[in-house]
Homo-oligomer: A and B are copies of this chain.
């Protein structure tokens, strides 16, 4: 990922691959974490877990003792409806905490699964709670992270309830593209997104056939494409306009208290 060749940079680059530093980089995009607090965070013990495509990380009603940070791939939160149909609630990319809430809410009200092969780091709740006592700014930063999550949920309500199908799908792709780009995960206009059309339907409240036709329509605009599990946004501002997308709710530019 990095093209540094200087020897002195290598240790830092290695560091960037640890769960702590993936997490820290994310938190520091919106919060001011001192180097002293960062060191405390780096002391957190963790273990990693590999997930196969579709594998559940946590299920509704579980009472986990740890929270996960995404390291690789994508995980999704979802509800299960009585018919067996799923409602996907959110997608999470490396650096995200798909279940930070389980720190304070014992029982899961939804499930979390992998989209494509993924990897997460698991952090014990008791270790996190202890960290918050020693380094309150880290606690506030993670609180802030959960609040941004909530803003994304609010936008999903509006998206699925208030926008016509084309704008709705454009908004979905727009959001994940902007988030991925801000996290440095895009390769130019492309972002690997291992989700099926059926799952997009279960995210946006659309039937599979409508998903297929709406993708076809979006493709025809030349603004974006989604095929072979790769999202390509060749005209981000055009897509934003089509989607009525305003990135404010992502709070990417939140100053740091």
Which positions in A face B, CB cutoff 8 Å? Answer: 61, 77, 79, 81-82, 85, 87, 89, 101, 104-107, 109-110, 129, 132-133, 136, 139-140, 143-144, 146-151, 153-158, 160-163, 204-205, 244, 248-249, 251, 254-255, 257
Tell me, in angstroms, the Cα distance from A106 to B31 when the chains sit together.
12
Given the complex, which residues of B lie within 8 Å of A163, measured CB to CB? 81
Task: Supply 28 A–B pairs (Cβ within 8 Å), ascending by A.
Answer: A79-B154, A81-B163, A81-B244, A85-B162, A87-B162, A89-B157, A89-B158, A101-B147, A101-B150, A104-B140, A104-B143, A104-B144, A105-B144, A105-B151, A105-B251, A106-B255, A107-B248, A109-B151, A109-B154, A109-B248, A109-B249, A133-B136, A139-B139, A146-B146, A149-B150, A153-B153, A153-B154, A162-B205
Not counting A87-B157, A104-B147, a sample of 18 additional A-B residue pairs whose C-beta atoms are within 8 angstroms of each other reads: A79-B154, A81-B163, A87-B158, A87-B161, A89-B157, A101-B151, A105-B148, A107-B254, A109-B151, A109-B154, A109-B249, A132-B136, A133-B136, A143-B146, A146-B146, A153-B153, A153-B157, A157-B160
Closest residue of B by beta carbon distance from A78: B158
Given the complex, which residues of B lie within 8 Å of A136, measured CB to CB? 132-133, 136
Tell me, in angstroms, the Cα distance from A150 to B244 when the chains sit together.
23
Count of this chain's copies in the oligomeric assembly: 2
**Could you tell me if A254 and B106 are in contact, using CB atoms closer than 8 angstroms?**
yes
Q: From DSSP, what is the main secondary structure of chain A's interface residues?
A: helix
**Could you tell me if B150 and A107 are in contact, using CB atoms closer than 8 angstroms?**
no
Given the complex, which residues of B lie within 8 Å of A153, measured CB to CB? 150, 153-154, 156-157
**Could you tell me if B161 and A205 are in contact, using CB atoms closer than 8 angstroms?**
yes
Given the complex, which residues of B lie within 8 Å of A154, measured CB to CB? 77, 79, 89, 109-110, 153
Closest residue of B by beta carbon distance from A109: B249
Given the complex, which residues of B lie within 8 Å of A151, measured CB to CB? 101, 105, 109
